[in-house]
Amino acid sequence: MCCCGCAFALIAVLGGLLHTMIRGVARSSGRRHAVSATVRDRRTAGWAHLAVRALLSGVMRKSVRAGVNVLAWAATLVGAAGVALYFSRSSARVLVLAASGAPYLMCCALVGAVAFAAMRRWIGAGVAIVVVAAAVWAQAPLYVGRSGDDGGHEVMVMQANLLFDGADPQVLVDEVRVRKVAVLTVNELTPVAVEGLRRAGLDQVLPYRHLSPGRTATGTGIWSSYPLSETVEYDGFVLNQLSATATIPDIGPVTVYAFHPVPPVYGTRVWADELSRLREILERSPASRPAIVGGDFNATYDHAQFRTMLSGRFGDAVEQAGAGHLVTYPTDKPWPPLVGIDHILIAGGHARAADTVGLTGADHRALVARLDLDRQRK
């Protein structure tokens, strides 16, 4: 009995141990299966995440390329608009005003060409390059310059807009004296400004003058170190337009003009009409003598209406000197001057150099040019 009981007890213990081992193995197997499933789930989630990221990245790249493509075409079209404005002869207000900024618009085409090339969009790049080439052709004369005959008589000319009597007269006189200016044309000349310039000593530096001062912007004047004769004031203009004949040694008589057509904001048709009539005055200038023109033309080199004045024997001093894009207006704003509306023209001579000069209190920079006038033939 005792042995049987021991045997049964041993069998029971072994059975319990076996049951425990089986349960442990089962639990361990369950854990391994659970871990394996978790790893598989994580791997699946990782692959899904990478797939989503790749998809989003592709979509974003396509969106970015599409956006850059749109901007490249927009920049090219803006540049083309700048070229079109350069050639436009329209008197529409918005087009005339926009033409003042034509060089800045043209630069956008270069941005378009670079963007197209970076994306390997060769058709777009070709179109943009054509626009850039047209813009370079339009602006290059201002930077290349033109050679002239040597041996002329040198004359320093200054054109200044005084902003009524706002410009500091002493600053202007000092610049005239330091730069040895021989001919000075002035716009927006008031009686107060005339008196201020007299007190500052301008009449001692440039003793000869032909003046037509007026209220606010109407006044115009010519000062010269050479004797003046044949003084004229032209009728039919909103602002005063003058001319006189300066007698220069070794040169003889030289016609000097001081012009100031109305700005486009006054009325673009009036502006265009005055530019046309000023051109007619220049065409009547005696071809046997040199001529000098200074003025605030309220037009840039990019206005076709202004460039018609350069189609005859008159040339633009800045263009002849290759001085580049010289800007003169406005100087009374938080931003720097943007447009060059002051000009010096010459016939019977050549411009060697041109530059701008700051005038305290004025809203224009003065324009200075060194001219070589053709000597009299003997």
CATH, range 148-373: 3.60.10.10
Over residues 277-310, the pLDDT tens digits come to: 999 999 999 999 999 999 999 999 999 999 999 9
Mean pLDDT for 39-66 is 62
Q: What is the mean pLDDT of the chain?
A: 88
Sheet holding 228-234, edge to edge: 228-234, 241-248, 252-259, 291-296, 342-347, 315-316
350: exposed, middle or buried (C-beta count within 10 Å: 0-12, 13-18, 19+)? buried
Banded model confidence at residue 1, pLDDT cuts 50, 70, 90: very low
Q: CA 202, CA 165: separation in Å to the nearest integer?
A: 15
User: 22 or 325: whose pLDDT is higher?
Assistant: 325
> Per-residue pLDDT for 245 more than 80?
yes
pLDDT at 145: 85
Q: Sign of the CA dihedral 336, 327, 190, 170?
A: positive
CB atoms within 10 A of CB 278: 22
pLDDT-derived band at 35, boundaries 50, 70, 90: very low
Enter the pTM of the model: 0.83
Among 3-17, 67-81, 92-106, 282-296, the range scoring the smallest mean pLDDT is 3-17
Pick the residue with more confidence: 55 or 77? 77
For position 50, what pLDDT does the model report? 60
What is the pLDDT confidence band of residue 49, given thresholds at 50, 70 and 90?
A: low
Which band of pLDDT confidence, cut at 50, 70 and 90, is reported for residue 66? confident
Our separate counts of H helices and E strands in the chain read 11, 12
Tell whether the model's pLDDT for residue 316 goes beyond 50.
yes
The pLDDT-based confidence of 200 (bands split at 50, 70, 90) is very high
Write down the pLDDT at residue 192: 96
Evaluate if residue 132 carries a pLDDT over 70.
yes
Lowest mean pLDDT among 55-64, 222-231, 331-340, 345-354: 55-64
pLDDT tens per residue, range 205-218: 999 999 999 988 99
Q: Which of 46-55, 144-153, 293-302 has the highest mean pLDDT?
A: 293-302
- What is the C-alpha R_g of the chain? 40
Domain borders along the chain are 16-139, 148-373
- How many angstroms separate the CA atoms of 378 and 360, rounded? 45
* Cα(205)–Cα(247) distance, integer angstroms: 17
Assess contact for 260 and 277: CB atoms under 8 A: no
